[in-house]
Chains A and B, each alone.
Chain A
């Protein structure tokens, strides 16, 4: 199972919006509405930010939103804040009942 494709890095200024893409295939991202997104600060454990493409867990800011079109899912962060600077990973279920992650995207807040 190949990893999902994410841009290596994205950046934005405070207050701006950014979007991180996550591209897979019809056997993972495109086949199921089961895409999740995780935030990871350096030296810390990943934190669930979005699940089932668009849902936010309790306690996650509504500045974070998810969407999907075909084989590509997206995470949008609006009103960028300094504390949003982190690595972001997408994940998707697969047709073989496993989970595959993206390679990760480093978000820099300028």
Chain B
């Protein structure tokens, strides 16, 4: 059974940093692209970042470029999101998701974690 379990969320002041983790099990982690998707309170889904199977390629939504860094440790079946210079608008539930590609295009997310809550407030 595929399982994705996020951790690391919490309350942080504007300008602060937080590191999210996602522990994966039930599949060959090193064979899949992985992504972070967030959902602000009462809002829709927003793709944040993704990372290739071997970590050699990474993509980000424009609003987090230069502030967030996605990484992975295939030996530990883990995905990470380092978030720096946090802003109030980064407040959201952050989901770890397994990403599926079709050729050169990111197609869909077939498994999701339960999410971890990040609140940016003074």
| Interface residue ranges, A against B (CB under 8 Å) | 1, 3, 32, 34, 36, 38, 44-48, 51-52, 57, 89, 91, 93, 97-104
| Interface residue ranges, B against A (CB under 8 Å) | 35, 37, 44-47, 59, 61-62, 95, 100, 102, 104-115
Tell me which residues across on chain B come within 8 A of A47, comparing CB atoms: 112
Are A104 and B108 interface neighbours, CB within 8 A? no
Query: How many contacting A-B pairs (Cβ < 8 A)?
Result: 69
Please list 21 pairs of residues, one from A and one from B, whose beta carbons are closer than 8 Å in the complex, sorted by A's number: A34-B107, A38-B109, A44-B114, A45-B113, A45-B114, A46-B45, A46-B109, A47-B112, A48-B111, A51-B100, A51-B108, A89-B44, A89-B45, A93-B106, A98-B59, A98-B61, A99-B47, A99-B109, A101-B45, A102-B44, A104-B44
Tell me which residues across on chain B come within 8 A of A104, comparing CB atoms: 44-45
Q: How far is the CA of A99 from the CA of B104 in the complex (A)?
A: 12
Known: A34-B102, A97-B105. 20 other contacts (CB 8 A): A1-B61, A32-B105, A34-B105, A34-B108, A36-B107, A36-B109, A47-B112, A51-B107, A89-B45, A91-B109, A93-B102, A93-B105, A97-B104, A98-B59, A98-B106, A99-B106, A99-B109, A101-B46, A101-B47, A104-B45
Tell me which residues across on chain B come within 8 A of A32, comparing CB atoms: 105
Q: How far is the CA of A34 from the CA of B112 in the complex (A)?
A: 18
Q: How far is the CA of A34 from the CA of B114 in the complex (A)?
A: 24
Tell me which residues across on chain A come within 8 A of B102, comparing CB atoms: 34, 52, 93
Q: How far is the CA of A46 from the CA of B47 in the complex (A)?
A: 13
Are B44 and A101 interface neighbours, CB within 8 A? yes
- Name which residue of chain A comes closest to B105, CB basis: A93
The distance from the CB of B111 to the nearest CB of chain A, in whole angstroms, is 8
